[in-house]
Structure formats: C-alpha cells, structure tokens
Amino acid sequence: MLADLASLDHTVANNLWRVRHEMSEEDLRWLDFTCAGVELEPGGGDRAVTVETRAAYVRLFCTYLLKQRFQTNLQAFVTGFFEVVPARLLHGVHEDGVLRLLAGKAEVSDAQVGELEQLVVPTGLIPTKLRDHPRVREAAAWFFQAVRAANGEFRSRLLEFWLGVGRLPLAGVATLRPRPRLQVMVQPDGVRGVKRIGSWPPDRLPEGHTCGNELWLALPESYAQLHDKLQLAVENFEAGFALR
C-alpha cells in the first residue's frame, strides 16, 4: 500500500515508512489511530500507536487515504477509464494483465542499465561520506554487473522491487523522482575504513524501499553471493520487501 500511496503523495508515504520501520517507542507515543481528526477505527482517538500496533496503524492510514479520502477522485478516474475501455473487455483479467495492457511490456536495455548506473554511481550511493570507499564501490559494481547479466524479465522485476514500476520513463532515466539510490549497509570503522552494520550480515537479502526509490544492500563477500541474494530477493519480493 505504501508504494501505491507514494504515487499520490510521496511525503506522506515516506513519513509512514518511517513510522513502520524507524520510529522508537518514544516517538510513537505522540500518535494515535486518527488521520486529520478522523478516527481510523472505532475509538481510534483513544488508541495509542506502539511498536506492536504501528503496522496496523500504517495499514489503516493507507487504507483511509487510498480508499476514502481520494474516493471522489478515484471514482472520477474509474468512470472516465471505462468510457474509453469497456468494463466487459477486462472481465476476468488479473491486475497484472491490466497493467501490462496499459503500460506495455518494455524491455530494460543494456543502455538503460548503463544510464541507471551513471545516475546512481557515485552520487546516489549511501552512506554519502563512504561512497568513495573501495568496498562500497566494489559492491555497487557487482550489483550492476548482476543486473547486466540478468534477462529482461528479471530487470523489470528489479525495477518494481526498487522503484515500484516495471519500466523506465520514456523521458529517460534521469527524470526518475525521487532519484534512485543504492545504500550499502556499512558504517565508518577506524581500522578498515568501513564495516558492516551489525543487523546486516552478508547473507541478509537486499530490501527495496519504493517510497524513496532506495535499495538496501548488505556488504557482500563476493560477486556470487551478491548475485544469488539479489536474485532470491527480487524473485520473491511479493512475500515482503524485508524477506530474510
């Protein structure tokens, strides 16, 4: 739902992502189950958001915005859409089929992969202060090597995993907003320059965060390890971006 909301209001979606993944119990205590004074569930004004309930809070918040607050706009779109495409033609067609019918099936070319790499490396690498470290650059190089080695279907799924859409804009990769970023999960180390973040061992699967067009990557020990983990994450991301 956050990916859907991001297409309408990126700022709100990004804030909700922080609620779901980053905020501490201390930060959450200021929130309750309301949105702009509207209760998200009966008695929501008296229910505090906690670490245990924040997933439900984010789900209800997204549901309210997508299905209720924007209902008038969505209904106008649906009415206009079915004036162009009769509903009977879509009977029994899965949502993925409708998407491909509308957007087409565009292959991600080698040239587009190269443009994406130029956009991300080095200015889109995170942490910013460590983006020139050889280990970080090596991880980024292995990542794009794996993308080049993949077929068109995998590349499209990778874009969905990373950016929330399966094709690049016709106006060019540089028009992507927010700008795609690749975060190698490292932190400064006085001896070696960088070290892994403790919660991100090398066997942890990559995570796509489509609200901010970010892909989080554990510092790999080898190209083969990165390739296998990326493939597993992308091919199974319907089960959750945080699949481990």
Mapped onto helix, strand or coil, the DSSP state of residue 184 is strand
Residue with tokens 């190209």: 223
With contact defined as beta carbons under 8 Å apart, do 126 and 182 qualify? Answer: yes
Beta bridge partners of 207: 216
Q: Which of 13, 16, 41 is CA-nearest to residue 28?
A: 16
- The half-sphere exposure of 68 on its side-chain side, counting CA atoms within 13 A, is 12
Q: Give the type of residue at 32.
A: D
Residue with tokens 């080095």: 122
Mapped onto helix, strand or coil, the DSSP state of residue 176 is coil
Q: Give the type of residue at 45.
A: G
User: How many whole angstroms separate alpha carbon 213 and alpha carbon 177?
Assistant: 8
User: How many whole angstroms separate alpha carbon 176 and alpha carbon 161?
Assistant: 15
Please identify every residue annotated as catalytic: 211
